[in-house]
Structure 1
Amino acid sequence: MGAQLEVATFAGGCFWCMVEPFENQPGIEQVVSGYTGGHVVNPTYEQVCSQTTGHTEAVQITFDPTLFSYEQLLEVYWQQTDPTDAMGQFADRGDSYRPAIFFHSEQQQLAAEQSKVALQASRRFKKEIVTAILPAEPFYAAEDYHQDFHKKNPVRYQQSHIGSGRVAFIQQNWEG
């Protein structure tokens, strides 16, 4: 248990829907919903939703790479998103919902770029893979009511998860 923990940051639309796929993987210490990539310090949800802060909703994952590698996190990430839609994810539109991988090291950048190239080469999608790969910027945890939203508000979470089109997209493009 002397492993050095690492951090990964992923944006894939509504952050409520990005927590659960990661949290139960081995070696995941914490998944925090928040905001990154913008120019306002410590933004609120209302500010981010206004599309004026430059932030995107994201999750920041603290993990033990000896138990679950960054490459494995990338595999989980891709399977939660529509990597061909740069203007949002599913029913959620705008910059605050854009898909992006925010790398924290040169190793993460290389792994993310390689996984993006591999996904494009797989021809799973007819359109171009447009998910941005960007240097990590300050990450601001979202308000408490957004943390573990799927546990605190399971009905509203399922409405969003299914109603946004995310579940159907994942089933159609990633499962089976």
Structure 2
Amino acid sequence: MRRLIFAAILGLSSALSAASAEASSVGDENIAKAVFAGGCFWCMEADFEKLDGVGDVISGYAGGLMDNPTYERHDGHLEVVQVPYDPSKITYRELADYFFRHIDPLDDKGQFCDRGHSYTTGLFYSTAEEYDAAKAAKAEAEKVLGETVVTPLLELKKFWIAEGFHQDYYKTNPLRYKLYRTGCGRDRRVNQLWGDK
């Protein structure tokens, strides 16, 4: 569904260039970065930017071997978001817990209406401390849901920034984004799974 929306409006204009997206992810040296794959990167970007202590979230690709992936060609990669955050305001573990509560961690075939490997979930880590926090968050999600969580823990090798058109899509194309998110059933399924948990 999203590919059809994207194809229909690709020719309009890019909101940002990849270079400006990269520049916006650079900031205070006290800022840490976490990477999460939760299906549609537009939706993950919108969800994480609601959090206090989180900066401008960047959409991209990770997890594959291909250099310079693009939206049309990113075999092996997952759609991800890079989340810049201030560890004095929010921890990696808190981000990981939040991440699980905004995805369907029981689905290993994609997320919501987006199917296929590139839309599967993944919790990326760069350090032993992040790995331990990710593992604990996954165990907590399994405990709360009472089912096996299929979201893998993946070592981050490289984050590739997505095309400028994808950055801040929920802000630059609010109506199309809302139609996509509602039509895809994302919030409905998340609420069904997590409710008030």
Normalised by the length of structure 2, the TM-score is 0.82
- Aligned sequence identity (%): 40
* Cα separation, 2, equivalents of 1:15 and 1:170: 16
Provide the secondary structure at the position in 2 that maps to 1:10. strand
Structure 2 CA distance, aligned partners of 1:128 and 1:160? Answer: 28
Equivalent in the alignment of 1:63:
85
More strand by share: 1
Q: Distance in 1 between matches of 2:193 and 2:66?
A: 36
For residues 76 and 91 of structure 2, the distance between their equivalents in structure 1, rounded to whole angstroms, comes to: 29
Aligned equivalents of 2:152 and 2:108: distance in 1?
8
Q: 1:102 aligns with which of 119, 124, 137?
A: 124
Q: Tell me which amino acid in the other structure corresponds to 1:26.
A: D
RMSD across aligned positions (CA): 1.4
Match of 1:23 among 41, 49, 53: 49
Structure 1 gap segments, 5+ residues each: none
Select 2:157's aligned residue among 124, 137, 157.
137
State the shift of 1:145 in Å.
0.6
Q: Take 2:107 and 2:50, find their aligned partners in 1: how far apart are those partners?
A: 27
**SS of the residue 1:19 aligns to:** helix
Corresponding position of 1:88: 110
How far apart, in 2, do the equivalents of 1:76 and 1:114 lie? 13
Deviation, structure 1 residue 174 = 2.2
Query: Structure 2 counterpart of 1:134, which letter?
Result: L
Shift of 1:21: 1.4
Asked if the contact 1:21–1:76 (Cα under 8 Å) also holds between the matched residues in 2, the reply is no
- Residue 120 of structure 1 and its aligned partner are, at CA, apart by 1.1
Q: For 2:29 and 2:59, how far apart are their aligned partners in 1?
A: 24
Deviations 1:132-172 (A, max 9, x none): 10100211111011000000111111122111111101222
**Post-superposition offset of 1:173:** 2.1
Query: Matches of 1:17 and 1:54 in 2, distance apart?
Result: 21
SS at match of 1:21: helix
- The DSSP-based 3-state class of the residue aligned with 2:57 is strand
1:11 is aligned to 2:32: no
Paired with 1:88 and 1:137, the residues of 2 have a C-alpha distance of 22
| Of 157, 165, 168, the match for 2:185 | 165
Partner of 1:156: 176
Equivalenced residue count is 169
Partner of 2:73, secondary structure, is helix
Runs of 4+ in 1 over 6 A off after TM superposition: none
Unaligned runs of 5+ in 2: 1-27
